[in-house]
Amino acid sequence: MKFLLAILPMLIALIGMINFYRSGAFVSVIGWIFALILSVYYFHTPWKVALGASLVGIIKAFGITLAIAFTMFLIFLMKETGALSKIIEYIKGIAKDKEEQTLFLGMGFGSLSTSLGMVTPAMFPPIFRLLGFTPVAAIAISILCYDPLTSFALFSIPITLPAEVAFKVFHIHPPGIETLQEFIWDFTFKITAFLPPISISFAFLMLWSVGGKEALIKHWKPAFFSGLVLSLTSLIIAWLRILPVEVIGIFAGLSTMLFVNIYYRRKNKSSAHKTLTFNKELFRAFSPFFLLIIFSLVVNLPFIKAFLANLPGKCEVIRVFADKKEDLNIMAHVWFWIFVVSVISIPILKPSSNDLKKVFKLWITRIIGPFTAHSLFFAVAFIMAWSGMEIVNNKLTLGPYFKEYNMNIVIASTLAGIFGKAYPLVVPFIGLIGAFVGGSEAASNVLFAKIQWETTLATVGAPAFMWIFAVHAVGGGIASAITPAKITNAAATIGVSGKEEGKFIKAVLLPVLFLTLITGLLLMFYLRLFS
């Protein structure tokens, strides 16, 4: 009963979207209300803690919600001024048919954009709609292209941040790991060890979403090898440690774009691509993307990021409740620089006053759903993580019922009790649940790090932890394909909602669950091989 109630917010979201075609924003509100009530009346959590956790979750989500909001504004601005149409014509000159565009933009540029911190569910749907894709296909590619390298998103924050929290805050020191840098590299390499089947599978899923069985039969070979290039590039760099972790995804995405372009150019020798001349007007149309790439690269250099984080000082630190404070780190977040690029792009793209009115009207109308969905799913994630806690002497601390009634512990311990030594099989599903509810692999990795450490000690032993933690992260990456907040984001950008969202999640749910199971089986194989 406890286990079913602990995962009820997730079940509500799935049933609401698949069976009733409700939007991610709608089910996030219902899921949050249920999480609040359950945490207070069943999981022994005071109202103040549940509401405080919700507020912390909403603030933590700013890094994503504001990035989405300003990305949507930028895309609407580019569309209204005609810049997006010029970019589309240029892309058609590079990649002539839908399958090639899917692999070039989805597997290649999508992975590159994800690694740079761009929000593909907000950025890509209008591009694919202008290329002639159906609404569901546009949503599908924009969501699925985020998955293969989710762990390397935002300059690898889903890897480096959880590693730092696990090693320094939770004092998790697996055998053979002496320093934080060793922890990060071992974590990274073990994540990349699972990427080949995942990347190839998502390439196939993208093709299936665009053209069904026919597209798979005709284009399985470039899909297979694009997934292989993406994953093996990441794996080799992580194995040899020849580049910083933060740029692995960038090089993998570039390598995939290069492969797809070369493959189709060789295949289509007889029908040459008609590439437009890259003139001044085209440069202006592309300039927002160029600025995003430049700002992302510069701002995320470690010494610059640290400088920007400390620049406003204590002015941006706010007290939320009890002893919980949040440093907003405004200038170190990618959303701030997407905002800067949006402002700079106005004089570059030169919209008329009427164009700007249309952009603002559309923007205000469509950001509400994605903002609500991401905010409230983050709130649910923190309610689950802090359930069973209480406030003593104005400090958030473990309550007397914490180990028995914390919702995250209930999920992990129930599965550990059922599967015992076979617990590794279900680890990716826990990562899937964590990221599905929280809307973020990074959040899932942080919130479950301590729980996975203790459960690993109780089931398969400390030497297996780095593999366990890596697969938890991989499961969280796979979850991006069915995360309601991301799906709502993609749908809102092109002006569709519940029905299209439900169709997409219904189409990919079983493949995602099957791929998660394969990941668990692969983990058990690796543990046997390397133990």
Residues 452-510 have pLDDT tens digits of 998 999 899 999 999 999 999 999 999 888 888 888 989 999 988 788 888 898 889 99
Amino acid at 435: A
**Cα–Cα distance, 133 to 327 (Å, whole number):** 41
Per-residue pLDDT, 275: 54
- What 3 state SS string does 86-125 have? HHHHHHHHHCCCHHHHHHHHHHHHHHHHHHHCCCHHHHHH
What's the sign of the alpha-carbon dihedral 181, 230, 141, 14? negative
**Cα–Cα distance, 421 to 63 (Å, whole number):** 38
Cα–Cα nearest to 300, from 370, 249, 363: 249
Q: Are 127 and 188 in contact (CB under 8 A)?
A: no
Residues 412-457 have pLDDT tens digits of 999 999 998 899 999 999 999 888 877 778 878 887 888 899 899 9
Cα 240 to Cα 174, 177, 185, 236, 244, distances in angstroms: 21, 17, 10, 6, 11
Q: Are 424 and 525 in contact (CB under 8 A)?
A: no
Q: Are 8 and 356 in contact (CB under 8 A)?
A: no
- Token output for 475: 């499961």
Per-residue pLDDT, 274: 56
Q: Measure the CA angle with vertex 37, ends 32 and 39; round to 5°.
A: 90
Q: Band of the pLDDT at 208, cuts 50, 70, 90?
A: very high
At 68 the three-state DSSP class reads: helix
Cα–Cα nearest to 422, from 354, 517, 342, 500: 517
**Cα–Cα distance, 249 to 254 (Å, whole number):** 9
243 CA to centre of own chain: 23
Q: Band of the pLDDT at 273, cuts 50, 70, 90?
A: low
Question: Read out DSSP for 244-288?
Answer: -GGGHHHHHHHHHHHHHHHHHHHHTSSS---PPP--HHHHHHHHH
